[in-house]
Structure formats: C-alpha cells, structure tokens
Amino acid sequence: MVACFLTRGDLWISWEEGAKVFENYLLDYDWSLNAGNWMWLSASAFFYKYFRVYSPVAFGKKTDKDGLYIRKYVPELKKYPSDYIYEPWKAPKSIQTKAGCIVGIGYPKRIVDHDKIHKENIQKMSLAYKNNREKKAMKRPRS
C-alpha cells in the first residue's frame, strides 16, 4: 500500500526514497527484501501489472471499515465518524467541528486527489512500457 502510493500510484516518487525510510525504521530490516519489494510494488522490476493501483481510501474501508488503526495512530481523527475516517476532507464542517478537528487547520488537507492522479500515473507507466518495448524491438540481435 505505502509503496504503491509513494511511487506509481500517487506521488510518483522514486522507490529508492521509500526504501531509505524503511531502512531506517523497519525492525526486521533486510536490504535485499526491502529493495526487492520496493522495486516490485513500484513496478520498477519483477511486476508488470502497473495498472493495478491500490486506493488508500478503498483499501482502508475494505480492511478496517471502522478505522480502528487510524483512530489509534492518528489521534486528530479519533472522533470522526466511520463514514469519514478515510476521507475526512469530505466531512461537512459541522461534523469536523464536532470531532474537534478541522481539515486544513488541525489536520492537513489531502496532498493528492487519488482518483485523478492515479489515472495520470497509469498513462505515464503505459508510455514508459511502450517506449521500452519499441526500444527493445529496434535492437539488433547479437551474433
């Protein structure tokens, strides 16, 4: 989820940046597993189904519909109703006020619109794969 969001899914940041963060914070860090998984999930190597992008909102709703993880580790959103726990920016101002957290003041505004940006990034990945195929086709066979 994190690797997809940081790289090809939303932010279009190199997998190497995410790998560096994990290197510093993973308790069970292993260089080869870390690098391999980041390359795989960023579709930089081993994984060609770049069009499978995980939605941070849909993934959360599917795996933790009540937002227990969010409530525990993001105290600003603790009092948000489950309907808005993964999309606090959609909550009406009255609900934000009641929850004690106004988006843009007590909690940051979202940094990307996933529904829009992941489509743009899929197009970038598609073009990169197409260019790579064409480049390979132009190479002369070795003798």
Q: How far apart are CA 22 and CA 2, in angstroms?
A: 10
Any binding-site annotation on 29?
yes
How many Å from the N-terminal Cα to the C-terminal Cα in the chain?
44
DSSP code string of 78-138:
TTS-GGGTT-GGGS-HHHHHHHT--BTTTBPPPS--HHHHHHHHHHHHHHHHHHHHHHHHH
Question: Cα 70 to the chain's mean position, in Å?
Answer: 16
Q: Is 10 annotated as a binding residue?
A: no
Please say whether the beta carbons of 17 and 6 come within 8 A: yes
Please give the annotated binding residues for FAD, written as ranges: 28-30
Please give the annotated binding residues, written as ranges: 28-30
